[in-house]
């Protein structure tokens, strides 16, 4: 079996753009006609350029080769251009190709991928969702004093209760103010106050029916994160996510030692080498690899195994499309130290349209597919009908320093 053909799509995500502005998909086809799908969680360059990078990587290191040879492909990509270091853009490209190879391997074997990476540990997977507006864009209105689910405690509480009524028992929100290219910063008193009020309102609304997952985006200095953590500790969040920028796990460890809230991190990290530094420094007790960036399925499974030896749990991140979601499901199903899975609502909306068969979700849990490979098939007609034509990146940070 050899990889023969490569095709990519950059798919625009229609309003409300839940899961991001666009998704980058790849399809590999072998010489015996088996195909596999992958997705890159890569946002550092224009997505069409990233798609070309995926095609270039495949042409150099994968076409004409056996898709089973995952570690050989990893070493080629990891070392490409005399690099041999975690490169978030290359690993986004590699991750997409790697999960497509696993999709092919599973189909060739007639088994879901989780059967090939250790077997099924979990029959169902606990999931959580962000709090989203009931209608309109998921991106907040930036006009002054605009009320929305991201900054209004009553609206957040109402949204959280609606999620619980759907079946979720964990909800996530990140009200701690804007994040900028100049972070980490010291939180403003108003941001600390809002964060505490949001946590209090949501806790009063859901009681013990749901965990609170408190997100930030690497916004703070260690001292600032510790101040914020103390303000929200009374509401017992399940985690305090990425309290400081991801480049210094030694600093994140200062926060972890100073708060009773478990620290979670990982959406911006790639390969076991970066996650290894987090583990070594005891910087987090929950890791959040995104399989579209962290190195694909096998690399993320290795990260989970490393974490398991330190009693660290895995909560796969997914603010992207349904192919990454499917890959995360395969990994989580096989991981004894799995905690909770990020779900894009209930995998409905455009995520459902992108697949020929919806990811199954019941009563707050994802039901792993028993179909071979990743367990999902991309609807290529929908991809073709929704090309991305914008200029913004998948996620962007404010360009000005935060004013007090």
Q: ∠ CA 106-109-115 to the nearest 5 degrees?
A: 60
Q: Where are the domains of the chain?
A: 3-111, 115-373
Q: Which CATH superfamily is domain 115-373 in?
A: Enolase-like C-terminal domain (3.20.20.120)
Q: Summarize the confidence of residues 138-155 as an average pLDDT.
A: 80
Question: pTM to 2 decimals?
Answer: 0.97
- CA-wise closest residue to 157 among 212, 108, 112: 212
Lookup: tokens for 349: 């909306």
pLDDT at residue 211 tops 90: yes
pLDDT digits (tens, 9 = 90+) for 287-318: 999 999 999 999 999 999 999 999 999 999 99
As a whole number of angstroms, the distance between CA 31 and CA 37 comes to 16
Q: ∠ CA 305-307-311 to the nearest 5 degrees?
A: 115
Determine phi and psi for 183, rounding to 5 degrees: -65, 155
As a whole number of angstroms, the distance between CA 319 and CA 17 comes to 11
Q: Give percent of the chain above pLDDT 90.
A: 94
**Res. 139 pLDDT band, cuts 50 70 90:** confident
Same topology between domain 3-111 and domain 115-373: no
Return the higher-pLDDT residue of 135 and 121.
121
pLDDT at 265 (0 to 100): 98
Architecture, CATH, for domain 3-111: 2-Layer Sandwich (3.30)
């Amino acid at each position: 079996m050899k990889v023969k053909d490569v095709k990519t799509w950059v798919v625009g995500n229609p309003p409300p753009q839940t899961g991001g502005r666009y998704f980058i998909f790849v399809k590999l086809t072998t010489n015996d006609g088996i195909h596999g799908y992958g997705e890159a969680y890569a946002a550092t360059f224009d997505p069409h350029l990233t798609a070309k990078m995926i095609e270039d990587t495949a042409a150099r290191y994968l076409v004409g080769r056996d898709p089973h040879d995952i570690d050989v492909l990893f070493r080629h990509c990891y070392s490409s251009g005399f690099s041999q270091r975690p490169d978030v853009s290359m690993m986004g490209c590699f991750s997409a190709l790697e999960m497509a190879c696993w999709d092919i391997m599973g189909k060739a074997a007639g088994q879901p991928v989780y059967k090939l990476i250790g077997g099924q540990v979990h029959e169902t997977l606990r999931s959580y969702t962000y709090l989203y507006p009931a209608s309109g864009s998921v991106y907040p209105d930036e006009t002054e004093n605009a009320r929305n689910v991201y900054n209004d405690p009553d609206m957040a509480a109402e949204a959280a209760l609606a999620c619980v009524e759907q079946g979720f028992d964990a909800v996530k929100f990140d009200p701690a103010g804007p994040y900028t290219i100049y972070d980490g910063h010291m939180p403003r008193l108003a941001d600390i106050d809002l964060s505490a009020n949001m946590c209090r309102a949501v806790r009063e609304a859901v009681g013990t029916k749901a965990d609170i997952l408190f997100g930030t985006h690497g916004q703070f200095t260690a001292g600032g994160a510790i101040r914020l953590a103390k303000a929200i500790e009374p509401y017992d969040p399940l985690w305090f996510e990425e309290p400081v920028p991801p480049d210094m796990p030694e600093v994140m460890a200062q926060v972890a030692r100073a708060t009773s809230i478990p620290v979670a991190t990982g959406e911006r990290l790639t390969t076991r080498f970066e996650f290894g530094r987090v583990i070594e420094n005891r910087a987090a007790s929950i890791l959040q690899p995104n399989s579209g960036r962290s190195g694909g399925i096998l690399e993320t499974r290795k990260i989970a195994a490393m974490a398991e030896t330190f009693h660290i749990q895995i909560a796969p991140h997914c603010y992207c499309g349904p192919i990454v979601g499917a890959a995360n499901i395969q990994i989580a199903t096989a991981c004894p130290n799995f905690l909770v899975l990020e779900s894009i609502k209930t995998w409905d909306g455009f995520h459902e349209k992108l697949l020929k068969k919806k990811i199954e979700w019941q009563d707050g849990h994802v039901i792993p597919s028993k179909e071979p490979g990743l367990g999902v098939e991309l609807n290529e007609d929908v991809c073709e009908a929704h090309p991305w034509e914008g200029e913004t990146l998948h996620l962007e940070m404010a360009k000005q320093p935060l004013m007090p």
